Chains A and B, each alone.
Chain A
Amino acid sequence: MARRTFSIGGVHPNDAKISRDCKIETLPTPPVVYIAVAQHIGAPAKPVVAVGDKVKAGQVIAEPGGFMSAYIHSSVSGTVKSIGPRKDLSGNNQTVVEIAVEGDEWMEGIDRTDTLITEIPQDPKEIIEKIKLGGVVGLGGATFPTHVKLSPPPGKKCEMLIINGCECEPYLTSDFRTLLEKGEQVVIGTAIIKKALGVDKATIAIEDNKPEAIEHITKVVEGLKAKSADYAGIEVLSLMKKYPEGGEKQLIDAVMHRQVKSGGLPIDVGAVVDNVCTALAVYEAVQKNKPLVDNSVTVTGECFPHQANLLVRVGTPLNYIIDYLGGVPENAAKVISGGPMMGKAIANLEAATLKGTGGLLFLTREQTKRMPDSSCIRCGKCADACPMGLEPFLLNRLAKAGNTEALEENAVQDCIMCGCCLYSCPAGIPLLDVISQARGQIMGIMKARAAAAKAAAEAAKAKTE
């Protein structure tokens, strides 16, 4: 049988999952945590604690700052030392709540035992409220507030829930380990999200370079289906290993053979996509009353001597994690937050983890070196690689010419920044660098145009009234 995958583009980097056999280990609590109030897409949360307050682990320290926002909880027990700006991993100031750790006292009502609760609540409203109170956000990278995603706008109907277990980024293994070690929780979380959406079908999609995970989750799903009708309709789907399979748009194409229109949302084609770690966070928030205060982080790289998958409290300083594993190796030239294709190079190792931090990757200069760029030989490899069907060579040329009209016409705004073009260019042309800048510019122009059109329509309306 042909291996199923998305239909346009994609590349096959060496998946280098060298930390795949490392069990998730709990990192000791650091002496101090720095919890950012903006850890999600949308409005930053508003702090509700003051300097000097005693807080417990799991206590709300910031409330949603708008509709598109999320609760932030303390990940430790201790005293609030300061609330103010601190440099994030790029070196930009962000508001953080600094908490000095004292003991490990948790809020009452939080169940931290391993006891599985397979019986799920039946009321979607109750589920979504619990997810909101748990501060759950998407852990696949975008950190979209989950309770917002699970409340589709009126008129839009979800037909399929897709749980994203692709982990198509090379090196990262925290999703894989979560599937193996907390498979039951992930599947129960899936059933809960399915219930909240009122949808019949859910697909847990896993790339076929993780056969153990596919086998394990299939078994877990079968076991739970035998127990309760709540698990009917959950299927496990094996997908061909190809980057960027875990991209939301690509995954919908691979699983449902549908494509989200440019500028549209997955729900437009009846899909909701959540990461496996999000499903786990949903399980913990709904079944165990435990808010999202810790997440698993892969620490890896060929030059890094101690591969690990760690369960880390949100707000742990990155250098605390690295020192725990023996410090930055001498030959590491770049430390990346996330995977090597879409992750961010870290400028400031004193920055702290966020809810969405999934990996710390160490690369040597040799591994991450860019070739000096030479002439485009028009091989078309960038266009073959682009999972959005764009023509990066053309966008690059148009961007250099400053032709904004043609850039928009050739859909630069559809770029998902996956890096396939730059990865595959034999001439080493910094395609994505140029394209992402042009994309920002075009999106700005489109936004301004939409705002102007809206203002004009309102003015016309006011005039007629």
Chain B
Amino acid sequence: MLVSPNPHLHSKTTTAVLMRDVVIALLPAVIVSVVFYGWKELLVLAVSVLSCVLVEYLITRYCLKKASTIGDWSAIVTGILLALNLPTTTPWWVVFIGALVAIGVAKMTFGGLGQNVFNPALVGRVFLLISFPTYMTHWEIPQGLFGVDAISGATPLGVIKEGLMQGASVPELMAQHGYSYSQMLFANIGGSAGEACAIAILVGFIYLVARKVIKPWITLSILGTVAAVSCIFWLANPAQFTDPLFNLLTGGLLLGSCFMATDYVTSPMTTKGGIIFGIGIGFITLMIRYFGSYPEGMSFAILIMNSTVPLLNNWFHQKKYGRA
């Protein structure tokens, strides 16, 4: 007879189950990006996921000489997120370098899953953005799965930033480029694959919340902060500052707030801490968009706030039973 302490039952939700749920939640965004961007996006996704899994396998087996941890699905999540953060036109070897940095540097050097301070996919992306700016800012306007001639161009955020620097006003630029919100909601704007369709990302987010994989507070806090702060700026000067809806629907804001800021490992443990974390991300993103030299600030904002997580965990604790 076995003798061991209580409890004698265990929930069936394992790390692998949770990570697989994240992969399932990313599927709508993956499918939409492949449909809009075609086989090239499929290639980026495949290279990214395979490289992440391979790098993790090789490091655990041959550098750390431990059992492989690829069975927990977390490398696959990182691979998909990295791919969705890259332009479709990224060469395969650049994608591989991104994966190497994401898994090799941002995750495994810290000790693997659960130990890393920064979101691995974002570290990979930012590394590529700084090292290969030409590849990383060369976007393609989606032409569909069977589109032949790819048209490249800038993202709406890039267009606005560029235009503002040349003295144009926001409404002029919006009209000139024919940006509409329905377009942003359902895809067809330039950007990295995962930024293309807001609805697909929101479907995945709702799935994660419904399955209780994540709690919605971090995401809602980011979106709320962006909406509120941009509303103040926009009302003050609509010629100079973009409106809240534009800010919510463009760039990596939705992908970042739904899938990257909510990463268990690099976000605070408590709801209170999570809300502060989200406010920080929303505010920093908007400040970079409005006043920084980069058109988009989501990746930087999340990475900056990642570094505050140990502090937030120290400051914010759960309400304990029977204690003030």
Contacts and interface: CB of A to CB of B under 8 A. Distances in A.
Interface of A: 8, 11, 13, 170, 249, 253, 259-262, 264, 333-336, 340-347, 349, 361, 363, 365, 367-371, 374-381, 383, 386-391, 393, 410-411, 414, 417-420, 422-428, 432-433, 436
Given A414-B320, A427-B15, A376 B6 contact: no
A369 B14 CA distance: 13
B72 A374 contact: yes
A345, A347, A374, A420: residue with the most chain B Cβ atoms closer than 10 Å = A374
Interface string B81-116: 000000000000000000000000000000111110
Contacts of B270: 380, 383
B7 A432 contact: yes
Interface range, B side: 35 or more
Contacts of B11: 11, 13, 423-426
Interface of B: 1-11, 13-15, 17-18, 69, 72, 74, 111-115, 264-265, 267, 269-270, 317-323
A253 B320 CA distance: 13
A391 B318 contact: yes
A414 B9 contact: no
Nearest to B269: A380
Contact of A345 (B3, B10, B112): B3
Contact of A249 (B5, B14, B269, B321): B321
Contact of B264 (A333, A377, A410, A428): A377
Contacts of B4: 334, 345, 370
Contacts of B323: 261-262, 389, 411, 414
B5 A377 contact: no
State the main secondary structure of chain B at its contact with A.
Answer: loop
Contact of B321 (A370, A374, A410, A414): A414
A344 B317 CA distance: 32
Contacts of B13: 381, 424, 426
A367 B113 CA distance: 27
18 contacts: A8-B318, A8-B319, A249-B321, A262-B322, A334-B3, A335-B1, A341-B9, A375-B114, A378-B264, A380-B264, A381-B13, A388-B321, A391-B269, A423-B11, A426-B18, A427-B14, A427-B15, A432-B6
Contacts of B69: 374
B6 to A, nearest CB: 5
Nearest to B274: A380
B322 A423 contact: no
A334 B2 contact: yes
A376 B264 CA distance: 10
Contacts of A344: 6
Nearest to B111: A375
Contact of B115 (A259, A340, A375, A428): A375
A387 B321 contact: yes
Contact of A423 (B2, B3, B9, B320): B9
B131 to A, nearest CB: 29
Contacts of A379: 18, 264
Contacts of A418: 7
B10 A411 contact: no
